[in-house]
Amino acid sequence: MIDILDLEYDALESFVVGEMGIPRFRTAQIWQWLWQKGVDDFDLMTNLAKNLREELKSRAVIRHPQVDVVQTSRDGTVKLLLRLDDGALVETVLIPMDGYYTQCLSTQVGCAMGCTFCNTGLMGFERNMTMSEILGQVLAGRGYLLRNGFPPLKNLVFMGMGEPLLNLDNLIRSLKTLNNPDGLNFSRRRITVSSVGFLSQLEILGREDLTLPAISLHAPTQELRAKIMPKAAGTHIDDLLAAMDRYPLRPRERVTYEYLLLGGVNDSLEHAAQLVRLLGHRKCKVNLIAYNPGDRPLYDAPSEATVLAFEKYLWKKKVTATIRRSMGQDIKAACGQLKADQQKD
């Protein structure tokens, strides 16, 4: 059986025309049912004749993830624990912004990178997610918001479980499918791919011109990065920054560096000064995120005063910095916490 949500538009067309022998224009109709309307049953494709729907049912399946657990935070953040076809569990988070939602997506079941501040990293790597599974999260998230009368989904961030660039083929296929205006219709500027950074994959991503990645830097020196992100630091920080200096930007775009502030580890003004030395002359901005310990703390949270002082220092030195609000504090919104809890029970 073909997993029909795992076909890019061209592949769907080959399947429809080449294998099923039906007219080409049906491709667009099926595509719209799958991605715009998000149906999970061929029988709901009411503009297709019954025999065609039966034929589709005999050859293909529409696999939506099953929503296992929903947690809603007081601040409106919604976390969904999704069960994939083989029983694997992944998390996706819907984050309210001003009048719309941003969804945080996973790309792998587990993660091989072992960043020391991350619950997913502690679980280890299980497998890559397919395009169908990656985008299934969007269908589940969008559907949840719609059914519950929440504001619409506007932006996507690949910042959930897994390292997106280690699942590059499925990531690129997903980005292409997201871009399709007759489907989910998320343009490049509404999608952010967050990565610890791999040189050859960044080069490929730059050539594809589908997204501008945000780099998870989290430390101002190679030494400290190697301590808190031992595997990611296999790419030397200087090489990583040089690769991002070469990344093809559009007018007014800047590279984003994510910096997770860990209490007493990387949050002092000395660290801020080191960060300025690293980034001060680069076309970039810094997103500061205060570590959210949840109920499985791996580090201490930084104090609010420390976070503000860090930001102020960067601004004083003319490095653009924003503090990202830590959403969903009361529902384990930090990556991997909900799945870890579920597996413990």
**Residues tagged active-site:** 91, 335
What part of residues 41-100 is at the interface with ligand SF4 (CB under 6 A)? none
Q: Which of 16, 288, 327, 335 binds ligand SF4 (CB under 6 A)?
A: 335
Residues 140, 119: Cα–Cα separation, whole Å: 23
Question: Which of 7, 48, 89, 161 is close enough to bind ligand SF4 by CB under 6 A?
Answer: 161
Q: C-beta of 166: minimal distance to ligand SF4 in Å?
A: 8
- Choices 18-26, 57-65, 161-169, 292-300; region in contact with ligand SF4 by CB under 6 A: 161-169
Choosing from 27, 103, 120, 201, the residue that interacts with ligand SF4 (CB under 6 A) is 120
The site string for ligand SF4 over 175-214 (x = CB under 6 A, - otherwise) reads ---------------------x------------------
Residue of the chain from 162, 220, 294, 302 that contacts ligand SF4 (CB under 6 A): 162
- In the complex with ligand SF4, which residue's Cβ is closer, 115 or 276? 115
Q: 182, 165, 155: which is closest to 12 by C-alpha?
A: 182
Binding mask 276-315 for ligand SF4 (x = CB under 6 A): ----------------------------------------
Q: Which of 6, 91, 133, 163 touches ligand SF4 by CB under 6 A?
A: 163
Q: Where are the beta strands (DSSP E) in 59-120?
A: 60-61, 66-72, 78-83, 89-96, 101-104, 108-110
Helices 237-246 and 199-208 meet at what angle, rounded to 10? 10
Using CB under 6 A as the binding rule, whether residue 219 contacts ligand SF4 is answered as no
> Which residue bears the tokens 């029970």?
345
C-alpha 1/C-alpha 13 separation (Å) is 17
The H or E element that residue 213 is part of is: strand 212-216
CB of residue 196 vs ligand SF4: minimum separation in angstroms?
A: 5
| DSSP per position, 120-173 | HHHH-EEEEPPHHHHHHHHHHHHHHHHHTTPPPEEEEEE-SSS-GGGGHHHHHH
Binding residues for ligand SF4, how many (CB under 6 A)?
12
Q: Minimal CA–CA distance to 162: which of 215, 111, 119?
A: 111
164 counts as binding ligand SF4 under rule CB under 6 A: no
Instruction: Cite the DSSP H helix spans in the chain.
Output: 9-13, 25-31, 50-59, 119-123, 131-147, 168-179, 199-208, 222-228, 237-246, 269-279, 304-316, 337-344
Segment 97-116, which members bind ligand SF4 (CB under 6 A)? 111, 113-115
Nearest residue to ligand SF4, scored by beta-carbon proximity: 121
Residues that bind ligand SF4 (CB under 6 A): 111, 113-115, 118, 120-121, 161-163, 196, 335
